[in-house]
Amino acid sequence: MIQYTVFDSEEDLAREFAAQVAAIFRDKPTGVLGTATGSSPLEVYRVLGRLVEIGAVSLKEVKTFQLDEYVGLPEGHSQSYRRFIEENLVALTDLRSYNVNVPNPHLVGTPGVDTLDEAAAAYDAAIKDAGGVDFQILGIGSDGHIAFNEPGTPLDSRTHVANLAEQTIIDNARFFGGDRSQVPTRCITQGLGTIMEARVIGLIALGENKAQAVRDMISGPVTPDCPASVLQNHPNVRVYLDKGAASLL
């Protein structure tokens, strides 16, 4: 059974989540943090910033590996996940840009990388070379996706090129001025098998529109129909919920 906690407010949730992250990297200052984008982890990143400010933890020697990245945005685009991590984590903490890793579609055409598939495979290998992820931050899509592993993705998948589900394009249009046609349709994403290798995982879900996905993840069968359900097979995962996201449990 996946352990979960329901919080009264996003602030309480973020405080406890960030404290867990800080404890891990106090013990292992050269560890590897798995980062997530989306609105769910934003408050956690702000609290982490405060913890760094007061010296409760340092991310100076920490490496990060982002879960996923859109394919098709120009380099440096405001909605690219590379930009997101720069603006929402690097800018708030002492994490160094050169320690930030994000799948990079723009590597295609550089020496040794001829295709997006090769860029994805190289990213998977880089996570292993760095020693694997010590703590992985996750959000969840309203269709049960984690990273960009949409329903139907094999549970043992590795980092790969994928298409966004229609529901995800609709959900993410809010970041593109509400215009669905601006949302990229492809991405590079860590696979479910890749994510499952993280030693500790913390997943955040906020709001009622996540309630069904949260219920399927925690109490449904383990099935590619709800990619997040694979977490039931992970020995060290904790789910952080607000009341809306927990409303169907």
Which amino acid does the sequence have at 74? P
Q: State which of residues 21, 22, 24, 67 lies at the interface with ligand GLP (CB under 6 A).
A: 67
Cα–Cα distance between 54 and 215 in angstroms, integer?
Answer: 37
Strands (E), the chain: 3-7, 32-35, 63-66, 68-71, 100-101, 135-138, 160-163, 186-189, 200-205, 237-242
Choices 44-52, 134-142, 155-163, 214-222 (CB under 6 A): range interacting with ligand GLP: 134-142
Rounded to the nearest whole angstrom, what is the least distance from the CB of residue 29 to ligand GLP in the complex? 26
Q: Which residues contact 106 (CB under 8 A, 6 or more apart)?
A: 75
Binding of ligand GLP by 148 (CB under 6 A) = yes
Judged by DSSP in three states, 68 sits in: strand
Cα–Cα distance between 30 and 58 in angstroms, integer?
Answer: 10
> Rounded to a whole number, what is the distance in angstroms from the first to the last CA of the chain?
13
Site string for ligand GLP, 23-62 (x = CB under 6 A): -------------xxxxx----------------------
Q: Which is nearer to ligand GLP, 57 or 85 (CB)?
A: 85
Q: Which is nearer to ligand GLP, 14 or 57 (CB)?
A: 14
Catalytic residue, from 43, 69, 134, 145: name it.
145
CB 144 within 8 A of CB 228: yes
Residue 150 catalytic?
Answer: yes
Residue 225 catalytic?
Answer: no
Residue 12 catalytic?
Answer: no
Catalytic residue, from 68, 69, 216, 242: name it.
68
The helix/strand count (H/E) of the chain reads as 7, 10
Residue 68 catalytic?
Answer: yes
Choices 27-35, 105-113, 119-127, 139-147 (CB under 6 A): range interacting with ligand GLP: 139-147
**Which residues does the annotation mark as catalytic?**
68, 143, 145, 150
- The residues of the shown chain that bind ligand GLP, judged by CB under 6 A, are 36-40, 67-68, 139-141, 147-148, 168, 172
